[in-house]
Amino acid sequence: MFYSLIRPALFTLDAERAHTIAIKALKALPAGKPARPGGPLETTVAGITFPNPVGMAAGFDKDAEVADALLGLGFGFVEVGSITPLPQSGNPKPRLFRLEKDRAVINRMGFNNGGAEAAAVRVAARGDRPGVLGINIGANKDSADRIADYAAMTRIMAPDATYLAVNISSPNTPGLRALQDEGALVELLDGVLEARGETGPPVFLKVAPDLQPADVDAITRIAMDKKLGALIVANTTISRPELASAAARETGGLSGAPLKPLALETLRAFRKAAGGAVPLVGVGGIATAEDAWERIRAGASLVQLYSAMTYRGPGIAKQLTKGLVKLMKRDGFTSIAQAVGSEAP
């Protein structure tokens, strides 16, 4: 209710400035108690116990500044980043646009972050605080060897990450999505897995929604061969469905409600290709408990959101988890794992 009162004022500000204010507010306010395992929504993916399947996607907390505050809002896990080896300012401003009529966002941020060294200090300072923390890693825009960047990020971040998310699907770093090609992806993952070592955290791979069927099959085959912890399906889209907002023609990745049909279709494609052999994380256009439940029934073991919080406020995680408990009981399931991939063919 409070957010609905202040949202009009926030929406008068430039989107990136409003986001900066949100981060500062979360840093200033005392963190709530994180969700604990043991409730009806507890689930296990890649050997990790998640107190609930609703996570904050990468992009909100780029520099790992407010992970505990987000966990205190009721998220079952938080993914920070994308973080690159060296600090970089990202693309020129303005680069973040609300599409209010479409309940969407377009961004062309370009992996703006303060770099691995500063982020690693903040993450290590968490110590043994409870909560599942994913660290999303990327490569510097001007890197001469992007695969080496990912390996370096793995070595730096693995000790303090519950899982690592390899982001090769952002449309805002030129050439990055080429790493989804089969040969490049094998080389990249070999480098990451070698850098992680035998005892490091699970590795998740974040993919684009703008893939051809052959790409889905190849990526799934590689994920199974490399024993990845999960596939995160999917990042923002470069496609443009019919949009009503003035900023619709801005370049960058589109997220929010218009991404939902494509993200759901892509998730189903990966579920069919994997046959349940690789866990999936559903992301893109999730704003309600019904959206999250649909993604779980379609094959996602976990879900993530980000853009929806812009429109619905910081209480969204608790709203979704309460709704998921009701939907699970309504449909006769006793666990999230039991519901994964249970939609009618």
Binding site residues, as ranges? 58-62, 82, 107-111, 136, 167, 172, 206, 234-236, 256, 285, 306-307
SS3 content of the chain, % helix, strand, coil (to 5): 40, 15, 40
Work out the burial of residue 142: count CB atoms within 10 Å of its CB; fewer than 13 is exposed, 13-18 middle, 19 or more buried: exposed
Whether residue 170 lies in the annotated active site: yes
CA distances from 68 to 72, 79, 108, 178 (A): 6, 11, 26, 34
Q: Please check whether residue 253 is in contact with residue 284, taking contact to mean a CB–CB distance below 8 angstroms.
A: no
* ω into 170 cis (within 30 of 0): no
Amino acid at 57: A
HSE on the CB side for 196, CA within 13 Å? 26
β-bridge pairing 203-207 and 163-167: parallel
| Catalytic residue, candidates 143, 170, 255, 301 | 170
**Residues with catalytic roles:** 170
